[in-house]
Amino acid sequence: MESATVSAGVVVSGNTKEAKEMKGVKEAKEAKFPEMKEAKEAKAVVKVNVPGFFMQDLDSTNSATFDYVASNFGLLDTFDVPSIDSRDLEKRDHDDDDDDDDDDDDKDEDDDDKDEDDDDKDENDENDEKEESTKKAPWKEFKKAIKKLNKKAPKGTSYKVLYLARHGQGYHNVAESFYGTEQWDCYWSLQDGNETSRWDDAELTSIGIAEAQKASIAFKDQIKTGFPIPEVYYSSPMSRAASTLDITWRDITLNKDSTPAPIFKEKCRETLGIHTCDRRNTKSYLHTKYPNFVFENGFAETDELWDPVYREPNDVRNIRLGKALDEIFAERREETFISITAHSGAITSILEVIGHRKFGLQTGGVIPVVVKVEYDATPTPVTSVSPS
Q: What confidence score (pLDDT) does residue 8 get?
A: 34
Among 123-137, 203-217, 254-268, whose mean pLDDT is lowest? 123-137
For residues 11-37, average pLDDT: 50
Helix 126-152 and helix 104-120, axial crossing angle in degrees, nearest 10: 150
Instruction: Note whether 196 and 227 are within 8 A (CB).
Output: no
Helix 314-331 and helix 344-354, axial crossing angle in degrees, nearest 10: 70
Q: What is the pLDDT of residues 83-116, one digit of tens each?
A: 665 544 544 444 444 444 444 445 454 455 545 4
> Does residue 6 register a pLDDT over 50?
no
Task: Name the band, by pLDDT with cuts 50, 70 and 90, for residue 81.
Answer: confident
For residues 12-31, average pLDDT: 51
Backbone angles phi and psi of 299, in degrees to 5: -65, 120
Q: Which has more pLDDT, 16 or 191?
A: 191
The strand pair at 366-374 and 46-49 is best described as: antiparallel
Q: What confidence score (pLDDT) does residue 31 get?
A: 57
d(CA 385, CA 387): 7
The string of DSSP codes covering 149-164 is HHHHSPTTEEEEEEEE
Residues 6 or more apart whose CB falls under 8 angstroms from that of 47 comprise: 322, 325, 326, 329, 353, 354, 371, 372, 373, 374
Among 41-45, 163-167, 253-257, 302-306, whose mean pLDDT is lowest? 41-45
Q: Above pLDDT 70, what percent of the chain?
A: 71
Q: What is the pLDDT of residues 177-207, one digit of tens each?
A: 999 999 999 999 999 999 999 999 999 999 9
d(CA 270, CA 377): 27
Q: What confidence score (pLDDT) does residue 378 get?
A: 58
> Does residue 32 register a pLDDT over 60?
no
Domains of the chain: 46-79+149-169+204-374 (3.40.50.1240)
> Does residue 1 register a pLDDT over 90?
no
- Tell me which of 30, 35, 109, 167 is the catalytic residue: 167
Q: What confidence score (pLDDT) does residue 172 get?
A: 97
pTM beyond 0.85, yes or no: no
Helix (H) or strand (E) holding 369: strand 366-374
Q: What is the dihedral of CA 332, 333, 338, 340, to 10 degrees?
A: 50
Q: What confidence score (pLDDT) does residue 98 get?
A: 47
Q: What confidence score (pLDDT) does residue 82 get?
A: 72
Decide: residue 70, CB within 10 A, 0-12 exposed, 13-18 middle, 19+ buried: exposed
Q: What is the pLDDT of residues 44-70, one digit of tens each?
A: 579 999 999 999 999 999 999 999 999
- Tell me which of 30, 176, 270, 312 is the catalytic residue: 270
Q: What confidence score (pLDDT) does residue 42 get?
A: 39
> Would residue 176 show up in a list of annotated catalytic residues for this protein?
no
> Does residue 119 register a pLDDT over 90?
no
Task: Name the band, by pLDDT with cuts 50, 70 and 90, for residue 126.
Answer: very low
Q: Which of 23-32, 124-133, 136-145, 171-180 shows the highest mean pLDDT?
A: 171-180
Helix 239-249 and helix 206-223, axial crossing angle in degrees, nearest 10: 40
Q: What confidence score (pLDDT) does residue 21 get?
A: 54
Name the residue among 362, 351, 335 with its Cα closest to residue 48: 351
Q: What confidence score (pLDDT) does residue 4 get?
A: 39
Name the residue among 211, 209, 193 with its Cα closest to residue 201: 193
d(CA 352, CA 319): 10
- Alpha-helical (H) ranges within the chain are 16-32, 35-41, 86-91, 94-97, 104-120, 126-152, 171-179, 181-186, 206-223, 239-249, 283-289, 314-331, 344-354
Measured between alpha carbons, how far is residue 327 from residues 45, 136, 156 in Å?
9, 33, 15
For residues 288-316, average pLDDT: 97
Q: What confidence score (pLDDT) does residue 192 get?
A: 96
Give the chain's mean pLDDT.
Answer: 82
d(CA 30, CA 25): 9
Q: What confidence score (pLDDT) does residue 5 get?
A: 36
Helices and strands (H, E) in the chain, number of each type: 13, 9
Measured between alpha carbons, how far is residue 92 from residues 53, 128, 152, 226, 304 in Å?
19, 26, 15, 17, 51
For residues 1-12, average pLDDT: 36
- Residue 166: Cβ within 10 Å count: 26
> Does residue 124 register a pLDDT over 50?
no
Instruction: Note whether 263 and 317 are within 8 A (CB).
Output: no
